[in-house]
Amino acid sequence: MDNEIFDIAIIGAGPAGLFAQFYAGLRELKTALIEATPRIGGQITALYPEKTILDVAGFLGISGRDLVNELKLQTDLVDSKTFLNSEVTNLKKIASHFEIEINHHASFLAKSVIIASGNGSFSPRKIDVPGSSEAEQSGMLTYLLPGLSEVADKDFAVVGGGNTAVDYAVELIDHDCHVSLIHRRDNFRAMESSVTKLKNSRRTNFLTPMKITGLSPKKEKLEIELQSVPDGAVKRVSVDRLIGGFGFTASSRTINQWEEFPEQFNQGFLTNEAQMTSIAGIFAIGDASSYPGKSDLIATAFGEAPTAINQTVNYFDPDRGGPQHSTSLNKKEVFKHDRIKSRYNS
Ligand SMILES: Cc1cc2nc3c(=O)[nH]c(=O)nc-3n(C[C@H](O)[C@H](O)[C@H](O)COP(=O)(O)OP(=O)(O)OC[C@H]3O[C@@H](n4cnc5c(N)ncnc54)[C@H](O)[C@@H]3O)c2cc1C
């Protein structure tokens, strides 16, 4: 990332940041989309991927997961860089540019910044039992899926009863792993078809209704102590890795420490009609932006994104003009994929 100067740094890959990335591509801007977690989609991915969203224009109803997939396909059409696992830990003004610090070490420069960080970065809800810190330090307890290319035939345990845990377990059996799914109840609050898939798989072992009472990292394996919820009977299983799947919580702790920190209003950054914050060159959209009458909705975020992108251009290149309607654009030049270009070949 060092030495690169972007036109725009977009902080956060929720729906607001993703649509801003696409729209910036239409305007042929050099854009970096920076996301703290390993996955795009923000609150939708972290909290409600299977819920049907009714109030996104043009869709009779669309699942969270499908909406994020569509946004991803759209952003794939344009030239732009996406940095995952990259939390913006500081934002500084250096001459006419902004320095964006990632994970406390790497940094790069941008002419303008769009904050699309929602309610802050997500961190996993952690398992708190004797031995959990040691297990985490040993790398045998994690809260995210490992790289799935080299895990086949490994023994995993996943704990949790919602979408996060069930989705993790499905991904693992799809990659030929054995999964023990641990949950304090017999029923799961997750997509029924995913639960059925796990129930029909010989690779899944349901450890329910059971709770984890202790963890002991041994040489190569992690020993999990389980207690049966109805009768307190204790059981031990050994796995290669345990993955906590209790979901995520959002926190603005890191953002609150930025050196350039715009004025706040309610829970977000106060923005004007150009989506600009109190600091010139820093814009905010989606749930990160706040003003009287603001509705924290996906549709609102989608409207604020083009406003912010067009106004960043006015900020760092006021002579450039625009925007054009997308119907007037040369799609062969704007879209990077040959498949899409060929659609507009005539
Ligand atoms: C259960 C639930 C149901 C909902 N249902 C609906 C609905 O039906 N219709 C509707 O319109 N809205 C709904 N919403 C609201 C909607 O999800 C939000 O308005 C929308 O997600 C806001 O998008 P965003 O991109 O602004 O922020 P987010 O979705 O919060 O995304 C922000 C992203 O920024 C990242 N980030 C934060 N800080 C940093 C940092 N320092 N560095 C790098 N990355 C960072 C986060 O990890 C996250 O990925 C619902 C919300 C919830 C919780």
Q: Residue 112 sits in a domain of what CATH number?
A: 3.50.50.60
Of 43, 252, 300, the one to substitute when testing ligand 1's pocket (max ligand atoms within 8 A of C-beta) is: 43
Same domain, 12 and 99: yes
Length of the chain: 346
**pLDDT at residue 65 greater than cutoff 80:** yes
Query: Which residue is closest in CA terms to ligand 1's atom 21?
Result: 43
Instruction: Tell me what the mean pLDDT of segment 98-126 comes to.
Output: 94
List, for residues 158-207, the tens digit of each pLDDT value.
999 998 899 899 989 999 999 999 999 999 998 899 999 999 999 999 99
Together in a domain, 266 and 241: no
The verdict on 113 and 253 lying in the same domain is: yes
What does the pLDDT read at residue 341?
A: 60
248-271 mean pLDDT: 93
Domain total of the chain = 2
With a 6 Å cutoff on the Cβ, whether 312 touches ligand 1 is no
Final residue of a structural domain among 246, 265, 287: 246
pLDDT > 70 in the chain, percent: 96
Least confident of 39-53, 57-71, 109-123, 271-285: 39-53
29 lines ligand 1 (CB under 6 A): no
Residues 162 and 112 in one domain: no
What are 214-244's pLDDT values in tens digits? 999 998 899 999 999 999 999 999 999 999 9
Q: Is 327 found in the same domain as 300? A: yes
SS3 of 269-314? EECCCCCECCCCCEEECHHHEECCCCCCCHHHHHHHHHHHHHHHHH
* Residue 211 pLDDT greater than 90, yes or no: yes
Q: What phi and psi values does residue 8 have, to the nearest 5 degrees?
A: -135, 135
Tens-place pLDDT, residues 2-20: 578 999 999 999 999 999 9
pTM of the shown model: 0.80
Q: Which of 246, 268, 296 is the last residue of a domain?
A: 246
* DSSP states of 127-183: P-STTHHHHHHTTSEESSPPPGGG-TT-EEEEE-SBHHHHHHHHHHHHTT-EEEEE-
Examine the pLDDT at 327 and tell me if it is beyond 90: no
Counting atoms of ligand 1 from 1, which one is nearest the CA of 289?
26
pLDDT of res. 114: 98
Say how many Å lie between the CA of residue 73 and the centre of ligand 1: 19
**What pLDDT score does 1 carry?**
57
**Closest protein CA for atom 35 of ligand 1:** 12
Stretch 117-141: mean pLDDT: 94
How many angstroms separate the alpha carbon of residue 51 from the centre of ligand 1? 14
**Cβ(255) – ligand 1 distance below 6 Å:** yes
53 CB near ligand 1 (under 6 Å): yes
Q: Which of 246, 265, 291 is the last residue of a domain?
A: 246
Q: What are phi and psi of 302, to 5 degrees?
A: -65, -35
Same domain, 222 and 73: no
In this structure, the answer to whether residues 188 and 290 fall within a common structural domain is no
Please report the pLDDT score of residue 124 as a whole number.
87
Residue 228 shares a structural domain with residue 242? yes
Q: Same domain for 92 and 104? A: yes
* Most informative mutation of 66, 117, 282, 294 for ligand 1 (most atoms within 8 A of CB): 117
Residue 55 and residue 132 share a domain = no
> 152 lies in which domain range?
126-246
167 and 131 in a common domain: yes
State how far the Cα of 117 lies from the Cα of 99, in Å rounded to an integer: 17
